[in-house]
């Protein structure tokens, strides 16, 4: 099954970055964990479900992934600032690489090895009136 333009997945809502694991010690042994209530768990589930709904196949060769993370502008910004910042690059937290980690972790069921992601592009922008969300395009890399 081949889609020349790739498969498109949209996840509504604010993009969530993969946080650093926390470390705790019990009985002299250290363990790493993510708190169960962290929003990244729901975000990853939403990404996975959106990919299933889009009919994403399991890839066997190299994969090209594009991620566009669109953030809502703060309500405290003036109309003038909102107009000036519309569609401009988002240079605040969360970091692009941590957004990519969360998305790629959520999509790991669609390839046999993470090393298959041969091309990865991540772009963070402010919204221009539309709702925040994560736009993902996945295709076979050539």
Give Cβ neighbours of residue 11 (< 8 Å, ≥ 6 apart). 43, 46, 47, 50, 133, 134, 136
pTM tops 0.75 = yes
Whole-number Å distance between alpha carbons of 140 and 62: 6
Q: Which phi and psi (to 5°) does residue 117 adopt?
A: -75, 95
pLDDT of residue 1: 43
pLDDT of residue 29: 84
Higher pLDDT, 87 or 14: 14
Residue in 90, 89, 88, 86 with CA at minimum distance from that of residue 128 = 86
Q: Note the Cα 24 to chain centre separation in Å.
A: 27
Domains of the chain: 7-140 (3.30.1330.70)
Residue 28 has pLDDT above 90, yes or no: no
């Amino acid at each position: 099954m081949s889609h020349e333009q790739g498969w498109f997945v949209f996840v509504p809502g604010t993009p969530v970055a993969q946080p650093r694991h926390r470390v705790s010690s019990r009985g002299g042994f250290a363990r790493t964990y993510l708190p169960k209530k962290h929003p990244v768990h729901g975000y990853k589930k939403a990404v996975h479900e959106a990919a299933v709904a889009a009919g994403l196949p399991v890839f066997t060769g190299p994969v090209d992934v594009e991620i566009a993370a669109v953030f809502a502008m703060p309500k405290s910004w003036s109309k003038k600032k909102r107009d000036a910042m519309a569609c401009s690059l988002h240079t605040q937290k969360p970091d692009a690489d941590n957004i990519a980690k969360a998305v790629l972790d959520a999509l790991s069921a669609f390839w046999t090895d993470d090393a298959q992601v041969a091309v990865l592009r991540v772009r963070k922008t402010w919204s221009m009136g539309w709702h925040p969300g994560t736009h993902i395009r996945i295709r076979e890399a050539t």
